[in-house]
Amino acid sequence: MVKFPTQVMRCAAAVDLVILTIREGALHVLLVQRKEAPFLRKWALPGGFVREGEGLERAARRELAEETGIEAEFYLEQLQTYGEPKRDPRGRVLSVAYLALAPGLPTPTAGGDAHAAAWVMVTELEAHPLAFDHAQIVRDGIERARAKLEYTTLATAFCHDRFTIPELRGVYECVWGTELDPANFYRKVTRSPGFVEELDSYQRGGEGRPARLYRKGAASHLNPPINRTV
Amino acid sequence: MVKFPTQVMRCAAAVDLVILTIREGALHVLLVQRKEAPFLRKWALPGGFVREGEGLERAARRELAEETGIEAEFYLEQLQTYGEPKRDPRGRVLSVAYLALAPGLPTPTAGGDAHAAAWVMVTELEAHPLAFDHAQIVRDGIERARAKLEYTTLATAFCHDRFTIPELRGVYECVWGTELDPANFYRKVTRSPGFVEELDSYQRGGEGRPARLYRKGAASHLNPPINRTV
DNA sequence: ATAATAGTGTCTGTGAGACATTATACC
DNA sequence: GGTATAATGTCTCACAGACACTATTAT
């Protein structure tokens, strides 16, 4: 059996999750309070060590289910890997960060692993000093999400099965922190082939004219993109 | 001193490089022939293990210098991390892949590490079965480069200090495998603020009217992007 | 009726694609 | 001169931004 050269460095492998969702009209990220040293009681991203024989994405999905307590189909993509030698005082750790997007989750999620978990508005992240290099990871995750809304149909990952165009516009507005023209947004979304599929039902109960319901379409890319430079 | 939980899995950490360049009007990737088991004598991406106390990007730059034998300033960005449990028969390895772009390199690079190294046209990759999951990594790297040419000024990373607009167009055409209208490309590039900076000299010696020389500008993003859907 | 929100129509400016035309080199 | 390539000009169509207008609900 072939072996590694004996001097090869070994390190621990972790996955960390930037889980974004929209609650009460604002972009939130899930944070957990550490119950172990180092950084005891500090806020951190949910995550954990990769297990023997477990793939990276599988580890990420396991942590996702554990920490949110929800067995749903999240959108999940690998973000980046952080491996500075000193990023963890316990020793060398490679952290493979994942970005997860979720529609507004029902419970505030008291995690299965008995952490204190909380949704924190991304505008209030400065008030939550994060452990390790997690502040950087969160910034990278948010920026990735913001960028991808431009040229992909990813905004639908923040919506439930059925949603209205104004709800979808709200996703863009929350994530980008801007306001979009309702009329132009409507035209753009409905005329981008495969972005959304029209349904026969309407959203009732709100003020004003009821909005037609849509579900996500088959397209994943958006060409031409939606501009956030306004 | 704080320690990891004892049962935490340890793995080796590697960096693998997708080094792209343009030679003789075609996109090439640097491959090395393995001189060790496993996959002895098979083609593979240049790379190696991360050393103790060495950051990921620093490891990538070290391998880049070793394998190309050139101490130049490459564009380098992290691509993705590959960590399937069985991807290396010797044991668990996390491979952090990097994408490097280089202007046409003078020598075919007989690597410092005594590998046989070769530039391979990306159109001839099928004829070169790659070790590990490197075929997937190369595909991901090429696709990343193709996508980034659309909305960034990265094409200049394939050019030397001074270049002409037709040369830059050649970069797009090689990487995308398409043809672009010279007149429209010229207009787009010269009117995108910060893409290129006009110089006072001209490229002489070729056929036809000499082309003005440019150098890369300060902008990194391109808005609106250049479309490859034609 | 009034307010509020959903959805449609219209005008205008920007920019891409297509392609004609002019400019400047080598032979 | 002829040929090749660089650079400019022009026409048209698609589409985004701005915003007026119509449609449909709740109160």
Closest CA to B230 of B196, B198, B184: B184
Q: Is the pLDDT of residue B187 over 70?
A: yes
Chain A, nearest residue to B6 by Cα:
A12
pLDDT for B1 equals 75
Across the interface, whether the CB atoms of B12 and A8 are under 8 A apart is answered yes
> Of chain A residues 144-203, which have a beta carbon within 7 Å of strand D?
181, 183-184, 187-188, 191, 202
Half-sphere exposure of B163 (CA within 13 A, CB side): 22
Give B5's pLDDT tier (boundaries 50, 70, 90): confident
Interface test with A, best of B3, B7, B8 (most A CBs within 10 A): B8
pLDDT for B59 equals 97
CA dihedral B96, B97, B98, B101 (to 10 degrees): 170
Q: pLDDT higher for B102 or B108? A: B102
Q: What are the chain A neighbours of B8 within 8 Å (beta carbons)?
A: 12, 49
Residue B143 sits at the chain A interface (C-beta within 8 Å): no
pLDDT for B108 equals 56
Q: Which A residues 145-204 touch B at CB under 8 Å?
A: 151
Statement: the CB of B165 is under 7 Å from strand D = yes
Across the interface, whether the CB atoms of B52 and A92 are under 8 A apart is answered yes
Compute the radius of gyration of chain A from its Cα atoms. Answer: 20
Range B168-177, long-range pairs (CB < 8 A, 24+ positions): B168/B196, B168/B214, B170/B22, B170/B25, B171/B22, B172/B226, B172/B228, B174/B22, B174/B25, B174/B26, B174/B27, B175/B20, B175/B22, B175/B27, B175/B145, B175/B146, B175/B149, B176/B146, B176/B149, B176/B228, B177/B123
pLDDT (tens digit, 9 = 90+) per residue, B11-33? 999 999 999 999 999 999 999 99
- Adjacent-strand bridge partners of B18: B99
Across the interface, whether the CB atoms of A89 and B2 are under 8 A apart is answered yes
pLDDT for B9 equals 96
Q: Nearest by CB to B12, from A4, A49, A225: name it.
A: A4
Distance B223 CA to C14 C1' (A): 12
Sign, CA dihedral B211-B215-B219-B221, equals positive
Enumerate residue ranges in chain A where pLDDT < 70.
106-115, 230
pLDDT for A47 equals 95
Chain D positions with any atom < 7 A from a protein CB:
3-10, 15-20, 23-26
pLDDT for B107 equals 61
Give B113's pLDDT tier (boundaries 50, 70, 90): low
Q: What are the chain A neighbours of B148 within 8 Å (beta carbons)?
A: none
Task: Give nearest nucleotide to A165 (CA–C1').
Answer: C6
Sign, CA dihedral A18-A21-A22-A24, equals negative
Does residue A152 contact residue A144 with C-beta atoms inside 8 Å? no
Q: Is the pLDDT of residue B181 over 80?
A: yes
Q: Range with the lowest mean pLDDT among A179-193, B55-69, B128-142?
A: B55-69
Task: Please give the span between the terminal C-alpha atoms of chain B, in angstroms, as a whole number.
Answer: 60
pLDDT for B6 equals 79
Report d(CA B138, CA B144) in Å as an integer. 10
Q: pLDDT higher for A165 or B35? A: A165
Distance B183 CA to C19 C1' (A): 9
Q: Is B146 exposed, middle or buried (0-12, 13-18, 19+ CB in 10 A)?
A: middle
Across the interface, whether the CB atoms of A83 and B10 are under 8 A apart is answered no
List all residues 6 or more positions away from A14 whose beta carbon is below 8 Å from its beta carbon.
A47, A48, A49, A50, A93, A94, A95, A96
pLDDT for B72 equals 77
Average pLDDT of span B96-105: 94
pTM: 0.94
